[in-house]
A = this chain, B = another copy of it.
Amino acid sequence: MKVSFAKRVMIQDFQGEFVKKMLKSATSPDLIPFSGGIPNPISFPVEEMEKAAEAVLEKNGVLALQYSTAQGYLPLREFIAKRYEKKGTHVTAEDILITNGSQQALDIIAATLTDPQDDILVEDPSYLAALQTFHLYFPNIHTVELEQDGANIQELQSILKKHNPKFFYMIPDFQNPTGLTYTLEKREKVAQALKGTDTFLVEDSPYGELRFKGKQQPCLHSFLGEQCIMVGSFSKTISPGMRLGWILCTHKELREKMVEYKQLVDMHTNIFGQMILSEYLAHNDYDKHIEKIKELYRHQAETMIREMKAHFPSSVSYTDPEGGMFIWVTLPEGMTSIQLTQRAEKAGVLIAAGDPFYETKRNVRTFRLNYSNSSDEVIVKGIRILADEIRKMQEEK
């Protein structure tokens, strides 16, 4: 039977095609996994979660299995609100919508704000799965260059003025893919540029809790208030498998629309998981747990940077993340990261070529390295293999 599909699932976006090809080639467990972005299992509190599950089912079993409300479990929303409050962002549980991970949060925001041909704005490069989800709504996507300290302000101002985008999607802390963090000055300037416009700022912060060096920066919400929608997640600190993220939106009308939309697409986020996570958070030291993850990632990042310094040609540059899971590497002029990706795979190392993280740029020199899932030994081995391949590419030129 021949199917006439909806246009939204027939989009041949570069991101999707690239990821499909990448996944096809990258299924071997023997390859060194610098291409991924999954948390280290050290961040999963398995035993504590078992206790939490037991407690919830003992005390509140019927509630945990019955239908619940679209906005999400109140005690979990309260926990999240209090955590923002502690960092100086004045919000309440009422401002929060629990989603199936931050991926659904991005989808809900885009669906609520974007009609076909509406203008939206993203960083260049940006998180590739966000780009793919935004494509579902047929927007005109504009990009703003991401500099070492945050978005290029002049370009940002010019796009805001010219296109009045529905929203500007950005990841201010340890960005995916670059690992870059906005400085305080850049945050202030971005907020200034947006103030008075009709553009929402969507501040995605999946790694925000995982700062392992440098000084915590204020979230954009603290400058922009209801003009800033924040997206958060427990995926990088407790469990991605539970699919528990959230949207923080202090703009009442917008939040209500998003809650209604959530209800239409899947009623509510699974309450079973929400209650168990909430129980876990109530009876364990979340900060101490996060400290353990940060220690590990700090060590892994330092090891990777140290090895790159020691073995990469000096013509190769890279970011030095203050947190999160990624380093962004730039090859010398004349090389492409797709070339290196192919050679590295043959030599036993997977890396994420930069191309799919850009909306339009192709054959770029940049690629992403992930360190969260590799031991010292693996990092040392993998970086040496990459260094060898880069040198060979240089010699072959």
Contact = CB atoms under 8 A, between A and B. Distances in A.
B239 A272 contact: yes
A2 interface: yes
A166 interface: yes
Interface string A258-295: 00110011111111110010000000000000000000
Nearest to A68: B241
B242 A2 contact: no
A132 B264 CA distance: 7
Contacts of A240: 65-67, 267
Interface in A181-235: 198, 200, 226-227, 235
A198 B265 contact: no
Interface stretch (A82-90, A109-117, A328-336): A109-117
Contacts of A393: none
A247 interface: no
Contacts of A242: 65, 270-272
Contacts of A63: 241
A144 to B, nearest CB: 21
A46 to B, nearest CB: 3
What is the oligomeric copy number?
2
A9 B65 contact: no
A8 B111 contact: yes
B4 A198 contact: yes
A383 to B, nearest CB: 25
A243 B266 contact: yes
A112 B6 contact: yes
A390 interface: no
A264 B113 contact: no
Contacts of A129: 264, 267
A103 interface: yes
B7 A115 contact: yes
A278 B271 CA distance: 17
12 contacts: A1-B226, A1-B227, A4-B166, A5-B254, A49-B65, A53-B276, A65-B238, A66-B241, A67-B235, A100-B100, A101-B267, A242-B272
A267 B87 CA distance: 29
Q: Which applies to chain A's interface (DSSP): helix, strand, loop or mixed? A: helix
B61 A49 contact: yes
Interface in A31-77: 38-39, 41, 44, 46-47, 49-50, 53-54, 57-58, 61-68
A67 B50 contact: no
A353 to B, nearest CB: 20
A267 B243 contact: yes
A50 B46 contact: no
Contacts of A44: 61-62, 65-66
A381 to B, nearest CB: 23
B53 A103 contact: no
Contacts of A4: 113, 166, 198
Contacts of A271: 241-243
Given A1-B251, A39-B66, 9 more contacts: A3-B113, A8-B115, A46-B61, A47-B61, A54-B54, A99-B266, A103-B265, A133-B264, A133-B265
A63 B241 CA distance: 8
A49 B260 CA distance: 30
Interface in A140-197: 166
A377 interface: no
Contact of A38 (B49, B66, B270): B66
A104 B1 CA distance: 24
A312 interface: no
B107 A266 contact: yes
